[in-house]
Structures are given as C-alpha cells and as structure tokens.
C-alpha cells in the first residue's frame, strides 16, 4: 500500500502509518526506506528513539533532514549553506521556519529550475519514524500541522511517510482526509509472524544442532500456536523468541514453556512473566530502575560508578532479562531496551503492579547519585572526567523530572528535603567551579540554563539573594571572561527557589 501511494503521485503527500506498540511500524519504515534507497528516491529519513540522546529530540530533526537532502540533491547544498549564513541561529528558530528555509525552499528552487532532468522526475520520499518517541510533544504537533498546511498550499515537494502510535497530540493533527492513513491493526499479521517463528527456529536448529539433535523440530501446530499467542504484535513474537533462545536454559525446554503460555496473552503479561521470574532483590530493582530512567544509555562502567556497584554486579542483576534487554559482552558498552514499550510498562503502576518503577523516587535517587559522583571531585583538579560526564550533564535533567512529578514545593518537605539539600549544599560549596568549567568545555551551559528556567517555573520560588548572586556573577565573569549579566542569570536561576541557605557558603 505504501509503495502504491508513492507510485501513484497526486496531491496526497502525507502517509500516516499507525498501530500499537510492537506492531512492526519501525520495521516497515526501515523496509520502505531501504526500498526507496534502491529506487534512488529516498531524500532523507529520521528515526526517533526515546532515551537515545539526540534521536529523541526534535531539535535534530530538520538539520538531519537538510544534511541528507544535500547529499540526495547536491545542488541544494550551497542554498542550505547560504540560508544558515544569512540566519546563523536558524536551528533554534521555530520548527516551521527551519523546515521551510533549510528543506522546502532549497528543494523547490532546485527542482523547479531543472524540472525536466531525470533525477527530479521521480518522487522524493522522506521517512520519519516513531513520532510518539519525540520528547517535545508540542513542537511535534506543530510540525505535523505544518506539513498539512504546506500540502494545502501545494508547497510540499516530498512524499512524507510518518509512523507512530495513536497518541492525542499526533492523531488530532494528522487524522484527517488530507492524509493517506494505514492502520496496522486492520491487517492480519498471523502468516508473517508464523513465518518469522519458522525461520527463527530453522536458524536456531542449525546453530545448535548438537543440543537439538535428540529433539524434534517444532510441528506446524506448534508454529500456529506460537503465532496465535502474539495477536498480531511482532514485538511479542520477537520477545518470545528471545525468551526461547535464552542461554540460561535449553531451547526445547523454553519452547515448552512458551507453548504453555496462555493463548491471547498480551505484551504486559509477557513482560510481567519475564521480569517476575527474576529474584526481586533491592539491587535488582535499583539497577533496573536506573537503566530505565537514564536520559540515554551509558556504558556499564558508568552505571556502576553512578550507583556505586561493580560492573559485574550490574550484569549479574540483569542476566535474567536478556529477552527484553540487550546486554553487551563488554563493560565499556551500554545496556539497551529492545523496545520502548518495556519502559512504558514499568513506569505505569496500573500495568506493572508490583514490578512498578516509581519515576518520582527513581529520578530523585539518580539526582542524588549524580551529585555524589561529582562530589568525588574532578580527576585533574579542573574538569570532571569522562566517567563523570553523565552526572555533570544530567543531574539537573533528573532533578527537573523529580520536581515536575513531585510538585513545586517538593524540595521543602521530607523525605526529600534533608538528603537532597545536604548533597546539593556540599556540591555547590565545594565543586561548583569544577562543574561550570566542565559545562563550558562541553558546551553544555546554555542547555543547563534552559533546564533551570523550566524547573524554576514549577518551583515555589523563595526570594533570591541578589547581592550574593551579583558577587558570584562578577567573580565568574573575571575567571571565565564571560559578561557578568550572563553569569548573574546563571547563578540566579541556579539558586533561586531551591531554598538553599546562602549564608552557609
């Protein structure tokens, strides 16, 4: 259907592929993107992924599309560069202006002048996957609305495939007659899932022939039964297959367990079954909660430093979850969730029950751990080390989430106020300069200001001690050759509202 939509042309330039978590949206988007590459019609693509750094930020969407467009249509490169030179701060402007100046205008200028040339007789396709995993819902809504406005004005030179779950901020904008809509739940995926199981078992049998030599290959009834349990969800099939291949047990034993699973089991119950099988120790909950709530994946060694465990403790705690987590073979690599639906399940108490990971307590815990890591001091006496980078760049991110979840006066009430304020006071009085040095080196101080500004809008703000702030601003200005006004704003936002005793410093 998607290939036909691209091929037939017409004025309907936007296709929305939607379905529930794990229904195969990303796999289809990837397949279409690869097909477009072979046809030489893929202008650009962007695959959002929650919790993976820049891939969860809409700020990277348009610059990435523009960069790829300059390779697809080389004659647009100079036009894009000219637009950036004329407006150096354009990547910080509203998403619509970015898209029009860096993508739409260069493309229309090039294709309108050489309309008869062969490369531009073909359609140009942009693939954007997992809109629901973008961390800025408001900007994403504006982006989707902009696409339809451009289509209505006949200024959209691309066929744009977008894929997402059905979420209000997206569906309200995109579910209209001007879009070509494809609902995955309307298609019977039983045959494809059955074929996936057969191919997976064929590969597994070939790779483990000595283990399976005395066991019969699964029957057709077995494959039908496995496919029936998935209810059209590919993530269920993939997770079930990983469960069967788990090296902790023989595959044919796992196959029996999988076949014994209740028919029609949904993804939440499968997650519940897999996670419940792991001993629910305090260390396990501590490690899993940290992995789930980190802003982005970090190496196992960095996780161990953050929560003060050995790397072997981290790996050992998670070994029973290899069907839902990708655990690397080296400690300098990071643990990844196979699918974002696992995080959604664990942070929703109604869905996860006793396995619930409380984001409020979790973000507070990580905030204090980040401060503790920074209290160790920088390795060279000036800047925090690479191992401390996550803590220095993200403690405010976790603090902001904690404040948002707890409410504006959260920092003034136990059980949070005492431990947090003690840790914060020690950090600010002993290592503030080291943190600022590191922010400047890593070019992160503007980001910190934005987070502080957002967090302070949610706090019940106490009166600022202006003279103290001015003193710090002037001192920092002399040290770092930055105008006092910038540092005054920085310190004012840092201290204001945190109810910290300035006289203690």
pLDDT in tens, 348-402: 998 898 999 999 889 989 988 998 888 887 766 677 777 888 888 888 888 888 8
Q: How many domains does the chain have?
A: 4
Nearest to 240 by CA among 252, 222, 254, 221: 254
* pLDDT level of residue 470 (50, 70, 90 thresholds): very low
Together in a domain, 28 and 168: yes
Together in a domain, 140 and 153: yes
- What single string gives the DSSP state of each residue in 165-179? ---HHHHHHH-STTS
271 in a structural domain = no
Together in a domain, 59 and 163: yes
Segment 89-143, tens digit of pLDDT: 898 888 999 999 999 999 988 887 544 444 456 789 999 998 888 877 888 888 8
Q: Where are the beta strands (DSSP E) in 75-151?
A: 125-129
Prior bond of 415 cis (ω within 30°):
yes
* Separation between Cα atoms, residue 502 and residue 466, nearest integer Å: 11
Instruction: Point out the domain boundary residue: 357, 389, 418.
Output: 357
* Separation between Cα atoms, residue 266 and residue 118, nearest integer Å: 49
Instruction: Point out the domain boundary residue: 357, 383, 404.
Output: 357
* Integer CA distances (angstroms), 27 to 30, 32, 234, 310, 370, in order: 5, 9, 9, 36, 36
* Separation between Cα atoms, residue 231 and residue 237, nearest integer Å: 9
Nearest to 53 by CA among 444, 459, 473, 468: 444
274 in a structural domain = no
Q: Is it the case that residue 220 has pLDDT exceeding 60?
A: yes
Together in a domain, 470 and 422: yes
* Integer CA distances (angstroms), 499 to 366, 394, 505, in order: 20, 21, 13
What does residue 329 show for φ and ψ, rounded to 5 degrees? -85, -5
Mean pLDDT on 64-93 = 92
CA dihedral 377, 379, 381, 385 (to 10 degrees): -90
Together in a domain, 374 and 449: yes
For residue 295, the tally of other CB atoms under 10 A from its CB is 17
Together in a domain, 133 and 223: no
* Separation between Cα atoms, residue 32 and residue 24, nearest integer Å: 12
Together in a domain, 365 and 435: yes
pLDDT of residue 76: 92
Together in a domain, 37 and 150: yes
* Separation between Cα atoms, residue 505 and residue 503, nearest integer Å: 6
Together in a domain, 366 and 497: yes
Greater model confidence, 502 or 175: 175
State the residue range of the domain holding 297.
282-357
């Amino acid at each position: 259907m998607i290939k036909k939509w691209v091929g037939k042309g017409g004025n309907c330039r936007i296709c929305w592929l939607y379905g529930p978590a794990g229904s195969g949206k990303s796999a289809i988007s990837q397949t279409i993107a690869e097909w477009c590459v072979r046809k030489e019609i893929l202008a650009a693509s962007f695959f959002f992924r929650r919790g993976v750094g820049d891939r969860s930020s809409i700020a990277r969407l348009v610059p990435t599309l523009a960069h790829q467009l300059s390779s697809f249509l080389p004659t647009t490169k100079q036009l894009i560069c000219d637009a950036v030179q004329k407006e150096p701060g354009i990547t910080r402007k509203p998403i619509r202006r970015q898209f029009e100046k860096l993508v739409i205008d260069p493309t229309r200028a090039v294709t309108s002048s050489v309309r008869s040339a062969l490369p531009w007789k073909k359609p140009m396709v942009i693939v954007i996957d997992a809109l629901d995993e973008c961390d800025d819902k408001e900007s994403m809504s504006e982006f989707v609305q902009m696409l339809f406005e451009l289509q209505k004005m006949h200024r959209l030179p691309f066929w744009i495939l977008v894929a997402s779950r059905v979420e209000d901020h997206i569906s309200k904008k995109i579910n209209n007659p001007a879009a070509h809509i494809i609902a995955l739940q309307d298609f019977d995926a039983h045959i494809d899932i059955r074929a996936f199981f057969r191919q997976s078992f064929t590969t597994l049998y070939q790779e483990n022939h000595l283990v399976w030599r005395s066991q019969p290959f699964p029957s057709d009834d077995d494959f039908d039964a496995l496919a029936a349990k998935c209810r059209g969800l590919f993530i269920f099939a993939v997770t079930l297959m990983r469960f069967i291949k788990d090296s902790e047990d023989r595959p044919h034993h796992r196959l029996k367990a999988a076949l014994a699973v209740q028919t029609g089991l949904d993804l939440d119950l499968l997650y519940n079954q897999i996670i419940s099988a792991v001993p629910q120790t305090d260390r396990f909950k501590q490690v899993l909660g940290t992995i789930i709530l980190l802003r982005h994946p970090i190496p196992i060694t960095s996780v161990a430093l953050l929560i003060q465990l050995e790397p072997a403790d981290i790996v050992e705690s998670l070994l029973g979850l290899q069907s839902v987590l990708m655990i690397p073979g080296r400690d300098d690599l990071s643990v990844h969730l196979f699918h974002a639906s696992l995080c959604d399940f664990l942070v929703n108490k109604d869905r996860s029950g006793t396995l619930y990971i409380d984001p409020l307590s979790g973000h507070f815990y990580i905030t204090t751990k980040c401060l503790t890591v920074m209290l160790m001091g920088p390795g060279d006496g000036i800047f925090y080390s690479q191992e401390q980078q996550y803590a220095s760049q993200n403690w405010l991110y976790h603090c902001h989430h904690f404040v948002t979840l707890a409410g504006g006066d959260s920092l003034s009430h136990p059980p949070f106020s005492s431990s947090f304020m003690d840790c914060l006071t020690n950090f600010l009085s002993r290592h503030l300069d080291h943190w600022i040095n590191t922010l400047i080196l890593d070019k992160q101080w503007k980001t910190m200001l934005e987070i502080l500004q957002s967090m302070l809008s949610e706090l019940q703000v106490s009166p600022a001690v202006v003279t103290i702030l001015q003193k710090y601003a002037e001192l920092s200005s002399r040290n770092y050759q930055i105008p006092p006004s910038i540092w005054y704003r920085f310190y004012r936002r840092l201290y204001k509202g945190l109810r910290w005793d300035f006289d203690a410093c």
